Structure 1
């Protein structure tokens, strides 16, 4: 039986919650004297005891929990989770029916009504990611609901949360068929190899699906393409399939080499005709500048934060410098695909980074198109801060 506590919401925070804000901030509530257990249900009330919403207690980033329902009599049980999953699946009927895309997000946390939980679909297999110990405490109910709602081939999970000050990040098989990895999935007709049981990442970032398609369909034909922070080379595959004159993939991780070769191979692309570099991206910029290398298209999709022996990089403060380094090796008329998944700033702020870099290099630019999260990555209405992805295709004018 879940611990159920009445928790008072401070008056200044009530309006946001009643308007649909899904995250329960620590400063928004008066913490009860009774210690709260992870996964405890909280009946949120105003100062007069009037009901506002029901949420669960689960520490995640700047929040201490998420709203589950604004219906006082709604019970948080298997039926509740099955209803949420069914509603999410109905929104994605076109994806389930697609012949050329077999990897997408089925359930996107707070956007689908349960913060701290995401579920991805990979050719019949489901990958469940848990972002707090609180939501993980509902694991049995949610898995029972998953089996009830979907035709499940097999399920894997990833734990990505703090426990007793230790960051937990593990992945594991849960139930159903065990996958044979790499598992080959389709994305807009392109093939990608994924592994659901090999660390925090699967081999492809599903939120960039529309960006890869745009790169393939509109920006790659006969172009030289540089893919920085390339991970498994997914953008490079899209560029090569779009008819690029050649791709260069650069990533510091040693495993990026075999993973990128694998992605080319499953698409029938001769990896030896492409350039794959295992090195620090910033060192590569210097190398390319020294050797007079220039590219028609440069993809910039760095991690929000990275630390090496030589330097620390943060998109929040270093993105303009990254863009300036990229500009130095981009042909006039070329295109930079500037991307970030840092949720701490919005698209408007991101565009100021772009403006700063071009102003400081004395170059003009034109925004060709921009993207945020694709349609399967549902975000809460009226709260754009949860739409973390920001991608801008920029043409260098002179």
Structure 2
């Protein structure tokens, strides 16, 4: 199972979310706890072409949840253009804000404002862009300024869109058809505020499966000069080769930065097994952190080749890591049979993957993966486990690890954890937005 095919659902915006009545979102049955609402806290703003939602959904919208699911609407929205700005009200006609219409998928409206009088125009976008820029200047340190997220969708007030900086190039991710209604206005503002060498667009409006990742076209060139086939970016003094034209991943997942830093802090003196190793970003941290041995496992030989390139670019021995190609489960079973064990296992699996007829799904198979891992961990050893699927809740994630550990006759305890870095801000009332879960466990 290759990490090279895996990040199709790297964040909450990648997936086509369904209705989940157990979790807090704008399609759920129960809203957040709240105090008593005053009579004129929300002004009536009934519009003939506006959308209406029931009160349980309205409570989540007032709390700041950015999505309205199609089955939460009190009446269908027919004849509306993608990206159209629509007023949203509760059952009594109290104005809740404005959303951008999405013609397909589970999400019907993406909230863009809670104001009574609002214009989704260049002035608004520029103000939000500058606020996002100021946030990064405050919270993003120079150690990774050349590779960071500049716009994180709803967290920065741009529904369905994210923008990453890789060196002098910007990579725009489009997660919703509604983005087409404002992208042309946003592009010159990105050029004005960030002065990139060039801008590329990756279309994520259709969920990526492991099977079709190779069929996807390269990222589209939108503005500026063309990017070279590969170039280097820096993160905390390490160098990584990037391809911003790649169909799925440019080669470095910016959201896992805090997890990489955690690994480097605990790797000293340990034998490390790195599963689903992809381009080796975690492996480089383990090597620099003082690991005595690092073994990478990935289904794609090209991932190991890129890891060696990244090691060399970072002035480390390109052969510092043992490279094993093939299915993770088969390699884990071989380790068990040969009684080969590790002090620290790093595992960042795909939400789904298929390798030679063997299918892995994070929603269904994390317990089996945890069991296989625990069997090759030294007593008192550690696991750095990463879940990046929005649809896998923290409870399900930890429950699967616990179940797998017990099946292997061991117990796992969480001793540290982290999530998204500060350039990936998430609205407080948006639990789906906290898609990344990184747990350090001792076994």
Structure-1-length-normalised TM-score: 0.91
Structure 2: stretches of 5+ with no match in the other structure = 1-47
Q: 2:236 aligns with which of 188, 205, 221?
A: 188
> Per the alignment, do residues 376 and 6 of structure 1 end up closer, same or farther by CA in structure 2, a change over 3 Å counting?
same
Aligned length: 390
Q: In the alignment, which residue of structure 1 is the partner of 2:172?
A: 128
Aligned to 2:353: 306
Aligned-CA RMSD value: 2.3
| Deviation of the 1:114 alpha carbon | 2.0
State yes or no: 1:296 paired with 2:340. Answer: no
Verify: 1:353 aligned to 2:400, yes or no. Answer: yes
Question: Aligned partners of 1:43 and 1:144: how far apart in 2?
Answer: 27
Which range moved further: 387-396 or 4-13?
Answer: 4-13
What is the SS of the residue equivalent to 1:127?
Answer: strand
Match runs of 1:33-44 below 5 Å: 34-44=78-88
Shift of 1:66: 0.6
* Residues in 1 aligned to 2:193 and 2:99: alpha-carbon distance in whole angstroms: 23
Secondary structure in 1 matching 2:204: strand
Structure 1 segment 151-170 matched on structure 2, within 5 A: 151-162=195-206, 170=218
Q: 2:100 aligns with which of 32, 49, 56?
A: 56
- In structure 2, relative to structure 1, the CA distance for the partners of 1:20 and 1:273 (3 Å cut) is closer
Q: How does 1:168-247 map to 2 (within 5 A)?
A: 170-216=218-264, 218-247=265-294
Residue 252 (structure 1) aligned with residue 303 (structure 2): no
Partners of 2:293 and 2:245 in 1: CA distance: 32
- Answer yes or no: is the 8 Å Cα contact 1:192–1:263 preserved in 2: yes
**1:198 Cα shift?**
1.7
- Cross-structure match for 2:184: 140
Q: Please state if 1:67 is matched with 2:130.
A: no
**CA spacing shift, 1:119–1:100, aligned 2, 3 Å:** closer
SS state at 1:175 partner:
strand
Three-state SS of the structure 2 residue aligned to 1:288 is helix
Query: 2 CA distance for matches of 1:373 and 1:96?
Result: 12
Residue 365 of structure 2 aligns to a residue whose secondary structure is helix
2:299/2:355 contact within 8 Å kept: no
Aligned to 1:255, the other structure's residue is in SS state: helix
CA positional deviation for 1:45? 2.4
1:41 & 1:264 partners in 2: Cα distance?
A: 48
Distance 1:142 1:104 in 2: 19
TM-score for the superposition, normalised by structure 2 = 0.82
Structure 1, unpaired ranges of 5+: none
Any conservation in 2 of the 1:120–1:127 contact (CA below 8 Å)? yes
Cα 1:386–1:39, aligned 2, differ >3 Å: closer, same or farther?
same
Aligned match of 2:156: 112
Q: Are 1:82 and 2:126 matched, yes or no?
A: yes
The CA distance in 2 between the partners of 1:96 and 1:20, in whole Å, is 24
SS of equivalent to 2:232: strand
Following superposition, the deviation at residue 97 of structure 1 comes to 5.8
Structure 2: distance between partners of 1:235 and 1:293:
21
Deviation at 1:308, TM superposition (A): 3.1
1:12 Cα offset (Å): 3.3
Q: Does residue 1:333 correspond to 2:380, yes or no?
A: yes
Going from structure 1 to structure 2, the CA distance change for 1:33 and 1:99 (only over 3 Å counts) comes to closer
Matched, 1:17 2:61: yes
1-structure distance, mates of 2:54, 2:200: 39
Corresponding position: 1:27 with 2:71? yes
Aligned partners of 1:273, 1:155: CA distance in 2, in Å? 35
How far apart are 1:100 and its partner, in Å? Answer: 5.2
**Contact 1:25 1:62 (C-alpha < 8 Å) held by counterparts:** yes
Q: Structure 1 residues 31 and 357, CA, compared in 2 at 3 Å: closer, same or farther?
A: same
Larger fraction in strand: 1
Q: Post-superposition shift, 1:303? A: 0.7
2:51–2:77 CA contact under 8 A, matched in 1: no
Larger CA deviation: 145-154 vs 230-239: 145-154
1:202-230 CA distance string (max 9 Å, x none):
101111101111111x2212211111111
Counterpart position of 1:380 = 427
After the TM superposition, which of the residue ranges 194-203 and 337-346 deviates more from structure 2?
A: 337-346
